[in-house]
Structure 1
Amino acid sequence: MIASDLQSGVELLGDMIAEAKVIVPFTGAGISTECGIPDFRSPGGIWTRNSPIPFDEFVASREARNEAWRRRFAMEEVFAAAKPGRGHRALAALYRAGKVPAVITPNIDNLHQASGFAAEHVVELHGNTTFARCIGCGQVYPLDWVRRRFDGDGAAPNCTACDEPVKTATISFGEMMPDDEMQRATALSQSCDLFIAIGSSLLVWPAAGFPIMAKRAGARLVIINREPTEQDDIADLVIHQDIGETLGPFVGN
């Protein structure tokens, strides 16, 4: 059912939240746009200006690694200034209330953690851009370590332990999805009684399969997204409204 307006959508969502025992949110880029972080795929998004650098190209080309880090540091002020929005804070309130065991997200901005979720309860399908990791041995590096070396000679640094390239701790095109996170997301999707997809086009697989998985396991499905999705017809409630305005009433004190 598509909510006819914002008020009716919020009221119906509130009833479903009150009735649910276990709620699993799935958040896409749309939840973070009010925080000043542009999305990737929509008109004017990051990928309309710069094509993504595939993982195999990052590994093979020093020039590609340099460009990847140049782009990341060009976005540093945006990521550093971003604060959790109303959507993040509403989900954190439900998390504190014991309704939400964890959140599933392909977002890499760390805003769920900043809103109050424990890091272990944020299932990051595409990793996290607020730190770096060696692609060889997995050694973790803070971004300022990378920045000092990059600014020194304009070259992407290699790991001090194994000399393999260091990249943001994110999943790039052509890189395998993380097994542990995929398994956790699957288990969460199959064990909830309310699954809420927020700010996602639900076009990118395999992550787009989680709402369907939850629905097949017996959960009610809510989709909150400004634009229609291909899964609207299977949802119990669809709200085509601003995410912050929709979830704002659930922020609490």
Structure 2
Amino acid sequence: MNKCKRSLRLIATVAIASIAGFQAKAQQSVDLIMDNFTSSVISQTNVQLSNIAIRSAMRNANAKKAVRGSASAPVTKVNLAYTPTKDLQDRTFQELVTKLKTRDANAASAVNNALGAGRASYDQLFGQMVKESGLPANNAATAMAAYLEIAYAIVNNVTDQSSITPAMDKALQRQTATLLNKNTALTSPTAVAQLGEQLKLQAVVLYLGWQSTLKNGQFAQFRSNIDQQFKGMGFDLSKVSLTAQGFKKKA
């Protein structure tokens, strides 16, 4: 059992570490830091966009720029809601397990034990996690908001989870929706669904790692790992507060 718990901690770290890092300037606003972070996640979280979809997105973006003739043209809203197929969810799960097998066989086994056949799926667990907030589970902005919120709670050692209110959940979801709407790689419904499912799975894995380390006395190291991982992605979660307006820089 302890071996399984240690593996869950490793799973969470590996899942986040799969996103390559970048540096953010200290004077950047929270919105700009989140914008950079979002672009990094979309481009580097192993979202399998087809070349055709990417080329189509770029053509659409270029055509809009040509018509508008200005970089300040309004951003077309993307439908961030989607209906996931079982095939997509199975592929999302298996891709993570396969990736983990090459790095840590125990971690891959722990994922299968926690979320594999005969267990509650990551989709079911994610639905339970966001139910109280009233947010739609099958929405890429909800998935990203949940992923960020769990990481925020870990880094800031939020012991009273009820202190994060549904109003805060919704504000963070609106914040992430605004950022996702700016990204031209998400003009395809397929891309939105793939991003949403991968972030849902990462949010669940991160939550499982958090809860297991709280129980086995390894939270301090886990917290430090997550803090460093997000700093490596240009997002210092210790310097922001989650409010009814979303993330704001601490005074």
Q: TM-score, normalised by structure 1?
A: 0.29
Instruction: Give the structure with the higher percent strand.
Output: 1
The TM-score normalised by the length of structure 2 is 0.29
Q: Which has the larger radius of gyration?
A: 1
